[in-house]
Structure 1
Amino acid sequence: MSAGLYDDAELYDLVAPPDADMEAFYVNAAGGPSRRVLELACGSGRITVPLATSGASVTGVDLSETMLARARDLLATRGVSAKLVTLDMRSFQLDEKFDVIVLAANSLLHLHTHEEFADAFSAIRRHLAPGGVFAFDVFVPCATMLSRAPGDRHRLACFEHPRLGAVTVEETIDYDPTTQISAIDWYWSTPANGVFRHTPLTLRQIYPQELPLLLRLGGLELANRFGGFSGEPFSRHSRRQVCTAIAA
């Protein structure tokens, strides 16, 4: 069965579990109580809840109603609140400016073209209050991963599902260097039933030298880039670009 990655929030949360270092980075970037924070592509709330728990005034937005429903449940369970809105991060208008705008967990890679980056970054810049910060993270493109032969499956994750039992997720990647887009397919299986779910997704690869140029398309400037969520220096060995940007 072919399905979108965000159609089943329960499965998504199992394959993308909480990351304490990621949470701490974004909570620290948010700055604490009373700060106005906009979280783009907030999904099921794994960063939204820590932000709200920190005392920040949080608005979370996402295109997936399924993920937003999961986020509402999680917020209620944890006894915190955030405003949740359905919208597209590629172009949006809210009647508010924010001290911090967050785009976590590689969500920026869902943008593919220069036009989409320009639209999204311009909207982000318009919604930043004076002195505001845009915080985000993306993978560093991995040559070994992108050079895999199309169709070669690699194990991505294994986890225990409350109803399905042991679930394995395998991945294939078909990378187009002319567009810098990876066509990715995830195959979800159990020992008893084999493959029960197929999830296609396309992710844009953003190279380190390219990133500042893309930000400038929308009037933003790279302020800091770290090699991880603990603030380690960005180097040739880094697997992530953990960044903050400001209005240019």
Structure 2
Amino acid sequence: MDLAKDFFDEWASFYDANYEDQEIGDVEFYVDLAAETDGPVLEVGCGTGRIYLELLRAGVDADGIDISAEMLDVLEQKADEAGLTPSVRQADMTDFVTSREYDLIIVPFRTFLHNVTVAEQKAALRQFRETLAPDGRLALNFFVPSFDMISQSYGEPQTRSVTYQGEEYIVTNISRLVDEVAQTVETERTIEYDGDVVRQATFQLALLSKSEFELLLETTGWSDWTGYGGFDRQPLKDGAEEMVWVAEK
């Protein structure tokens, strides 16, 4: 997970500016799921608090972990400005210690895919299961691998402008399939201001199919699970762009 930590440490100050128009229904989904949970909730990969701070605003008893201290610094500053009291700390999702049992663990916004090896994926799922209360649930989401997108856009620069502290920056992403056997994608993200590169970092994600993730759940001891084709809980079938999973311990 060191590559993910390095990326988010480098990217933290620009993260919110890049994702301020992120509206895919995930915030409402996770907040509603947490609000109907009787016990405490843990968000894994809470980042700068896009979802975590909404949990606090909804009155949810929520803790958070993230691999990047820089991202957590941004979250805590935003919480202070909003008059909220966060309970977050730096930790790796594959190996962390907690003094609480949680009734719900959420892993939003494709964070699970930063586990690029089977060993990491199994370690994370086992860790989540051990951290849950006896009847606890796990909820997470990640994209459906699109081979049309891979063939059409991978290797080509994808550029957009973002506004940060009143100034316009250019963000360029270049994604490549770096390991066809392991199905690993690498994305290089560059931020430019007035023609100069001010940030550059790289991260990797695993491509996971429905059957692969179900096998991971089965081999790490989960009792039952449901996969949805989006945050509206439509059936997971061909044509879906997002896989949303709810698993029971």
| TM value normalised by structure 2 | 0.89
| Contact 1:149–1:173 under 8 Å retained in 2 | no
Q: Which 10-residue stretch deviates more, 33-42 or 236-245?
A: 33-42
For residue 119 of structure 1, report the CA deviation from its aligned partner: 1.1
Q: Work out the percentage of aligned pairs sharing the same amino acid.
A: 25
Count of aligned residue pairs for this structure pair: 243
- Specify the SS of the correspondent of 1:39: strand
Alignment partners' CA distance in 2, 1:243 and 1:102: 10
Amino acid at match of 1:117: Q
Which residue matches 2:190? Answer: 187
Judged with a 3 Å threshold, the aligned counterparts in structure 2 of structure 1 residues 221 and 33 are, in CA distance, closer, same or farther, namely: closer
For residue 225 of structure 1, report the CA deviation from its aligned partner: 1.6
Q: Which 10-residue stretch deviates more, 42-51 or 216-225?
A: 216-225
- Specify the SS of the correspondent of 2:156: coil
Alignment partners' CA distance in 2, 1:179 and 1:20: 28
Aligned counterparts, 1:61-76, within 5 A: 61-76=65-80
For residue 171 of structure 1, report the CA deviation from its aligned partner: 2.2
For residue 28 of structure 1, report the CA deviation from its aligned partner: 1.3
Which residue matches 1:167? Answer: 170
* Higher normalized helix content (fraction of residues): 2
2:179 aligns with one of 166, 173, 176: 176
4+ residue segments displaced more than 6 Å: none
Which residue matches 1:209? Answer: 211
Amino acid at match of 1:90: T
In the alignment, structure 2 segments of 5+ residues that lack a partner are 1-5
In the alignment, structure 1 segments of 5+ residues that lack a partner are none
Does structure 1 residue 121 correspond to structure 2 residue 115? no
Alignment partners' CA distance in 2, 1:46 and 1:195: 26
| 1:94-123, Cα deviation, whole Å (9 max, x unpaired) | 121001001000000010112111111111
Q: Which 10-residue stretch deviates more, 29-38 or 43-52?
A: 29-38
Q: Which 10-residue stretch deviates more, 58-67 or 19-28?
A: 19-28
Alignment partners' CA distance in 1, 2:44 and 2:230: 20
Does structure 1 residue 107 correspond to structure 2 residue 100? no
Amino acid at match of 2:176: I
Which residue matches 2:242? Answer: 240
| TM value normalised by structure 1 | 0.89
Alignment partners' CA distance in 1, 2:207 and 2:19: 19
2:146 aligns with one of 142, 145, 157: 142
For residue 34 of structure 1, report the CA deviation from its aligned partner: 6.0
For residue 205 of structure 1, report the CA deviation from its aligned partner: 0.7
- Specify the SS of the correspondent of 1:59: strand
| Contact 1:169–1:187 under 8 Å retained in 2 | yes
CA RMSD, 1 decimal: 2.1
Does structure 1 residue 10 correspond to structure 2 residue 13? yes
Which residue matches 2:198? Answer: 196
Alignment partners' CA distance in 1, 2:37 and 2:151: 45
Does structure 1 residue 23 correspond to structure 2 residue 38? no
Amino acid at match of 1:16: Y
Which residue matches 1:44? Answer: 48
